[in-house]
Amino acid sequence: MTEKQINWTALDEGPIHIPGSIQPHGVLFVLQEPELTILQISKNTFEFFGIQPEALLNQKLNKLLDAYQIAFLQDTLANNQYIDDVNPLKLSVTTDKERLFFDGIIKRIEQNYRFLTLELLPALPPVSCDYFNLYQLLINATNNIQKLLKFSEYCESLVKEVRKITGFDRVMLYKFDIEDHGTVIAEDKRETMPTYLGLHFPSTDIPKRARTLFLSKGIRSIPDINSEPIEILPPNNPINHQPLNLSLAVLRSVVVSHAARCWNASKVSVAASSAVGAGVGVGTGLATGAGVGG
């Protein structure tokens, strides 16, 4: 993949909120309340559960989750107008071989038809964690940042503290002007990596649709930029015949333009967050260099 192969202006018009696919590290369901009937599903269910996606379509979710979990989900949906507050949900699926544990992210996507998405991401195994050390890192980061009065010093301290806490190879802070052109105004990285500090990027580097979507979601995580996307089955909802809007989905697949940029920058995984202040957008980008675990 090279930049010469990509029409950035055309990509700016692309419907990135309806890619028709997800990243492969989780499973996505489109459900309809109240029975939690599976209307759409990602095609990678066999890899996770040993069940083909066609066998789950039009079935109720209790084909995968036990009665206790179904009752819990239905009660949660019935009693929480803002279900974002209950995420992530601790769920499990018992297959023929083992019991699998997941973090579930549930979101309402269509009130009229009572559609919702359920994303299942494998739960990380419990690890020993020095909570005092983490607490101290957060306290130190807060204290260091609060001491600074100059904006430039604040930015420099921010990327250093974020990288110290996350362990990423590189953390960059972008600033976007009123015409959406971007500049890397702060950076902290491994010494062996090339610097991007001070580089300028045209507004087409992050298409308008992507910026709007990013501001609405705030955080974006891409564990493996080189992974192949998993298609949604069927592509359109069988009831309203519309493609699935994945604007707020954790697993939303990566558009070609972003994958190409990361490829050219030798990134393997990416996480990013956004903030807006004084009429200027500021984005924090975290990236793991190629061949390096993050």
Question: Which residues sit opposite 243 in a β-bridge?
Answer: 236
pLDDT at 157: 87
How is residue 231 annotated by DSSP? E
Of 33-37, 152-156, 186-190, where does mean pLDDT reach its minimum? 152-156
Highest mean pLDDT of the ranges 12-26, 55-69, 109-123: 55-69
Indicate the pTM of the whole model: 0.77
- How is residue 100 written in tokens? 């699998």
Residue 168 burial by Cβ neighbours in a 10 Å radius (0-12, 13-18, 19+): buried
**Structural contact between residues 77 and 87, judged by C-beta atoms closer than 8 angstroms:** no
Confidence of residue 143 (pLDDT cuts 50, 70, 90): confident
pLDDT at 217: 65
**Structural contact between residues 59 and 38, judged by C-beta atoms closer than 8 angstroms:** yes
Question: In three state form, how does the secondary structure of 29-89 look?
Answer: EEEECCCCEEEEEECCHHHHHCCCHHHCCCCEHHHCCCHHHHHHHHHHHHHCCCHHHHCCE
Report the pLDDT averaged over residues 178-206.
88
Of the two residues 260 and 219, the one the predictor is more confident about is: 219
Q: What is the mean pLDDT of the chain?
A: 80
Percentage of residues in the chain with pLDDT exceeding 90? 43
User: Cβ atoms within 10 A of the Cβ of 25, count?
Assistant: 16
Using the predicted structure, report yes or no on whether residue 282 has a pLDDT greater than 50.
no
How is residue 227 annotated by DSSP? P
Report the pLDDT averaged over residues 97-121.
92
How is residue 203 annotated by DSSP? G
Of 14-18, 23-27, 53-57, 260-264, where does mean pLDDT reach its minimum? 260-264
Give tens-digit pLDDT for 36-67. Answer: 999 999 999 999 999 999 999 999 999 999 99
Q: What's the CA gap between 245 and 62, in Å, rounded?
A: 24
Of the two residues 265 and 105, the one the predictor is more confident about is: 105
Give tens-digit pLDDT for 66-107. Answer: 999 999 999 999 887 778 888 999 999 999 889 999 999 999
pLDDT at 263: 40
Using the predicted structure, report yes or no on whether residue 163 has a pLDDT greater than 90.
no
Confidence of residue 283 (pLDDT cuts 50, 70, 90): very low
Of the two residues 99 and 154, the one the predictor is more confident about is: 99
Q: What's the CA gap between 9 and 96, in Å, rounded?
A: 49
Domain spanning 3-14+150-289: CATH superfamily: GAF domain (3.30.450.40)
Report the pLDDT averaged over residues 160-186.
86
Question: Which residues sit opposite 32 in a β-bridge?
Answer: 37, 115
pLDDT at 274: 66
**Structural contact between residues 264 and 258, judged by C-beta atoms closer than 8 angstroms:** no
pLDDT at 79: 87
Domain boundaries, the chain: 3-14+150-289, 21-122
**Structural contact between residues 274 and 174, judged by C-beta atoms closer than 8 angstroms:** no
pLDDT at 128: 53
User: Cβ atoms within 10 A of the Cβ of 127, count?
Assistant: 5
Of 36-40, 228-232, 254-258, where does mean pLDDT reach its minimum? 254-258
- How is residue 23 written in tokens? 């990243």
pLDDT at 213: 73
Sheet of 89-94, strand order: 21-22, 230-233, 37-42, 27-32, 115-122, 99-110, 89-94
CA distances (Å), origin 18, targets 15, 53, 99, 245, 254: 6, 20, 32, 5, 11
Confidence of residue 268 (pLDDT cuts 50, 70, 90): low
Q: Tokens 């023929």: give the residue.
A: 96
Q: Which CATH class is domain 21-122?
A: alpha beta
Query: What are the respective helix, strand and coil percentages of the chain, to the nearest 5?
Result: 30, 30, 40
